[in-house]
Amino acid sequence: MIPVVGYAAKKAKGPLASYSFKRREPLDHDIVIEIQYCGICHSDIHQVRDEWGGSTFPIVPGHEIAGIVSQVGLKVSHYTVGDRVGVGCFVDSCRRCSPCCKGLEQYCVEGCSLTYNGVERDGKTPTQGGYSNKIVVDENYVLRIPDKLPLDRAAPLMCAGITLYSPLKHWKAGPGRKVAIIGFGGLGHMGVKIAHALGAQVTVLSHSLKKLEDAKRMGAHHFYATSDPKTFENLKGYFDLIVNTVSVELDLNQYTNLLALDGTMVIVGLPEKEMSINAFSLINARRSIAGSVIGGIMETQEMLDFCNKNNISCDIELIPIQKVNEAYQRVINSDVRYRFVIDNKSLKE
Ligand code: NAP
Ligand code: ZN
Ligand code: ZN
């Protein structure tokens, strides 16, 4: 077994603190990655606080992993020692079901093996994430990080990047399409950059005007505060696509009313509590509400290559692991510009 040092929460809502554990020796198709950077996703916070139910402890969060290959199994064919690689939200899946065969492993009917707070394919070995110095992953679930992308700013693409890229592509954000992003945080700022690069007209709906300048710099054409009731009057029936990235419950009816005929609101934010919908806000313009979760390995690689080509990476605040509990509080207060990334060198062996 490989000794690993990380940071874990021992119980729901507990603080994260130093934690030592072991990972498997690499099997034939595994690679060992020295983790250099790991992003802090709001999903880490939801799970550490057990807001979705069913979290298992101790929990080592982290699914926005960037690092360097340090060892490869005997049959590994795609990667060699020294390669720059990433790991996202899952580390395995059944590989047989229809979604898996289509490269949509995130929709595996048996459930994919989440990078942490999950279990391996044996159904019992707990997985632990990227707030740690090493990870062992099957090469089929690893991404190649293109050379032009700095590793620290690329780490959050593994979740925040693909979570917005996938629905923007699926619902055809592009020239002539009016796209709104609700919530300008880790996911939201990536949504603006990607939708802009795809050629769509991009609007941010944020709860205040504080982040307006940043959003414009990242490619937003318009920016409105949702605290201003006029926003909802002026933009009625305007958007073809709305992506909701907010981590708390919203009054969805207010937002569906902003959709044009046949428009779609895609929910990616995962608040603790349920949200309700009034049928009239949908039927009046044949509107749809949809959901989307991360993306498959093939599409995540496509997103990384797209970001490389378009000079897109995340705006980050780099922190040592010792600041992680403070960083969580700032994320909850919507006070991050725009993703915290842990410098894993700060983990002491
Ligand atoms: P984040 O950085 O905290 O961003 C969330 C944004 O929501 C904030 O920046 C803020 O935007 C808005 N917001 C937060 N609290 C609010 C409040 N009380 N009222 C109104 N707006 C509020 O989080 P994230 O990492 O981007 O994640 C966002 C959500 O997506 C989380 O629920 C996360 O679990 C989920 N997620 C889903 C997937 C998926 O595959 N579906 C993947 C990753 C994450 P403004 O300041 O602009 O208003
Ligand atoms: Zn995430
Ligand atoms: Zn499957």
**Side chain identity, residue 218:** M
pLDDT at 195: 98
Q: How much of the chain is in helix, strand and coil states, percent to nearest 5? A: 30, 30, 45
Q: If phi over 0 gives left and psi between -120 and 50 gives alpha, with beta otherwise, what is residue 231?
A: alpha
Among residues of the chain, what percentage have pLDDT more than 90? 99
DSSP string, 30-56: EEEEEEEEEE--HHHHHHHTTSSS---
Query: CB–CB of 160/186 below 8 Å?
Result: yes
Which amino acid residue places its CA nearest to atom 34 of ligand 1? 43
Q: In degrees rounded to 5, what are phi and psi of residue 145?
A: -95, 115
Q: Would the pLDDT of 72 be above 90?
A: yes
- pTM passes above 0.95: yes
The whole-angstrom separation of Cα 316 and Cα 103 is 29
Give residues (CB < 6 A) around ligand 1: 41-43, 46, 159, 163, 183-188, 206-207, 211, 245-248, 268-271, 293-294, 331, 334, 336
Residues 6+ apart with CB under 8 A from 218: 189, 192, 193, 196, 315
What average pLDDT is seen over the chain?
97
Q: Taking the C-alpha atoms of 55, 58, 61 and 63 in order, what is their torsion angle to the nearest 10 degrees? A: -80
Encode pLDDT of 165-221 as tens digits. Answer: 999 999 999 999 999 999 999 999 999 999 999 999 999 999 999 999 999 999 999
Encode pLDDT of 307-322 as tens digits. Answer: 999 999 999 999 999 9
As given in the structure block, the two tokens for residue 249 are: 């419950």
pLDDT at 66: 98
Instruction: Give the atom of ligand 1 at the shortest distance from the alpha carbon of 163.
Output: 40
Average pLDDT over residues 68-77: 98
Encode pLDDT of 230-254 as tens digits. Answer: 999 999 999 999 999 999 999 999 9
* Dist. CA 334 → ligand 1 center (Å): 8
pLDDT at 348: 78
pLDDT at 33: 98
- Match 């391996």 to its residue by tokens: 120
Average pLDDT over residues 134-153: 98
Query: CB–CB of 62/50 below 8 Å?
Result: no
Query: CB–CB of 152/343 below 8 Å?
Result: yes
The whole-angstrom separation of Cα 89 and Cα 52 is 16
Residues 6+ apart with CB under 8 A from 283: none
Average pLDDT over residues 286-293: 98
Q: Would the pLDDT of 349 be above 90?
A: no
Q: How confident is the model at residue 102 (pLDDT cuts 50, 70, 90)?
A: very high
Q: Would the pLDDT of 36 be above 80?
A: yes
